[in-house]
A = this chain, B = another copy of it.
Amino acid sequence: MTQLTKNQDLVLGALKRSEAPLSAYVILDKLRDHGFRAPLQVYRALEKLIEMGLVHRLESLNAFVACAHSGESCCSHHGTVAFAICNACGHVMEFHDHTVEHRLSDWARGKGFKQEKTTIEIRGLCATCAAA
């Protein structure tokens, strides 16, 4: 794992401090005091952080979260990961399901489809918000 640059560190910090996913523009606003002036500064940092697996992009939200892959997973590291996203409070749960992952890659293999990246996002209400 290579060292983070200053901008990458700032962006990752902002995501880690947040309870909910952040859009690139929200990150930009949070970092204006640290010298950020343009969206590209954020997007460039995000691009690298995602490559490193430290951040995930939530496609259904156009937003980003710090990886919550607590290291206690069954597999050594990120294969396909899934997210449950609360529409009410914004809270995100990241999880891995071996069965789902294999089932999808079996389907792909069967079709000759060369899998590059898989998105799994469940939108709904978390237990807390569903109760309320």
Contact = CB atoms under 8 A, between A and B. Distances in A.
A123 B117 CA distance: 5
A116 B100 contact: no
Interface in A81-124: 82, 84, 86-87, 93, 95, 97, 99-100, 103-104, 107-108, 111-124
Number of this chain's copies in the assembly equals 2
Interface of A: 59-60, 82, 84, 86-87, 93, 95, 97, 99-100, 103-104, 107-108, 111-127, 130-131
A15 to B, nearest CB: 20
Contact of A122 (B87, B99, B108): B108
Nearest to A122: B118
